[in-house]
Structure 1
Amino acid sequence: MNEIPRGTLQEQTFYEQVGGEKTFRRLVHRFYQGIAEDPLLRPMYPEDLGPAEERMALFLMQYWGGPRTYSDNRGHPRLRMRHAPFAVDRAAHDAWLRHMKDAVDELELSPAHTAELWRYLTYAAASMVNTEG
């Protein structure tokens, strides 16, 4: 059996496999379209959703192997700490995931990529819950 020499196969990050920046910007933009119309979640966001949308896009791109722009601009993500001022209960968790599911579905990724992305998003949403209810 012949071995493949180290360094001869180029591995792509998840970020690259799913289409890079364009895909993550589409995901986050669609998500924020849902947030803009959500009576439960909308009050948790600033009046102008643009900066929040940008931060989330940069965070997700970095998390999945893209540019480190998020950390370069904002430091460590500290997601729980950054969300601590907001009362995130089960209803907010469910609403957040509903909008994210719509956004993920519109990307029409492969089933394997969808599953991997969804595993992370459901984990992240659960970790933000900080209030009973």
Structure 2
Amino acid sequence: MQNNRENNSCQNGRINSFTQVNQILREGRTARFGGEEIRVVDSMIDIIYPPVPFPSNRIFKALGEDKIRGMVWYHHELLLKTKVGKLFPANEEAFKMAVDKSADFFVEALGGGEVFTSVHGEPHLRMRHFKVPIDENDREIWLAMYKKTLKETGFPQGHLEEFWNWIEPLSIRMINRRTNMDAVKRHPWSEVKHDLLSKKEVQ
């Protein structure tokens, strides 16, 4: 029996009703469902995750726990002023708990000990955020606000590249809803360093 294979893309016509199926059968075309031949729809991957290079503990040694927590708070306060702000709890205490939890993750990831996993378990960012719909546009805002945070909080210039090379691919793992099937936009260090580094450092 011959397999009828088709690409599962938005360019292909979709059957919306059994009336349309019957019409296709009458016209002699292959029905999408219930036809005489096996029809195979191509596999589909909604997102490809790039590798994430977790930073060394040099950033933690340079900043310390308090400054890392302050950075995370600053970032979330910026997010509250954007459309992403609606994704956070409206209750002030619940919001504080969410930010503290995020700060725990950053402290541990940057070398400050198991302050996150000892309490909350493994991060699994996409799974943890799944009850909150986060799409590609939300991720763009999240990353843009981190760029602003790094500039406005005086993040050590010598550690910016290592930090950015971590959070840029990491941010992709928070996406749990897709608005299209295009590749997720990347923001490599080579493109953002001119915004983050002083002119002296760029040269």
- Smaller-chain TM-score bracket: 0.7 to 0.9
Deviations 1:41-87, CA, capped at 9 Å, x for gaps: 11211123211110111100001110211111111112111011222
Question: What's the Cα RMSD here?
Answer: 1.7
Structure 1 CA distance for aligned equivalents of residues 59 and 88 of structure 2: 26
Contact 2:134 2:176 in 1 (8 A): yes
Deviations 1:4-53, CA, capped at 9 Å, x for gaps: xxxxxxxx822433221122112111101112212x21121112321111
- 1:127 corresponds to 2:170: no
Contact 1:27 1:103 in 2 (8 A): yes
Identity of aligned residues (%): 22
- Equivalence for 1:45: 88
Structure 1 CA distance for aligned equivalents of residues 159 and 61 of structure 2: 9
For residue 65 of structure 1, the aligned residue among 72, 96, 111 is 111
SS at match of 2:155: coil
Deviations 1:84-116, CA, capped at 9 Å, x for gaps: 122221210111111111112223233331111
Moved more, 103-112 or 22-31: 103-112
Structure showing greater radius of gyration is: 2
- Equivalence for 2:143: 97
SS at match of 2:167: helix
SS at match of 1:76: coil
- Equivalence for 2:30: none
Higher RCO, Cα 8 Å, sep 6+: 1
Contact 2:76 2:99 in 1 (8 A): yes
Contact 1:55 1:70 in 2 (8 A): yes
Shift of 1:124: 1.3
**Equivalent AA in structure 2 for residue 21 of structure 1:** E
Structure 1 CA distance for aligned equivalents of residues 165 and 60 of structure 2: 18
What is the aligned length?
A: 121
Give TM-score scaled by structure 1 length. Answer: 0.81
Unaligned runs of 5+ in 2: 1-55, 180-203
**Equivalent AA in structure 2 for residue 69 of structure 1:** V
SS at match of 1:16: helix
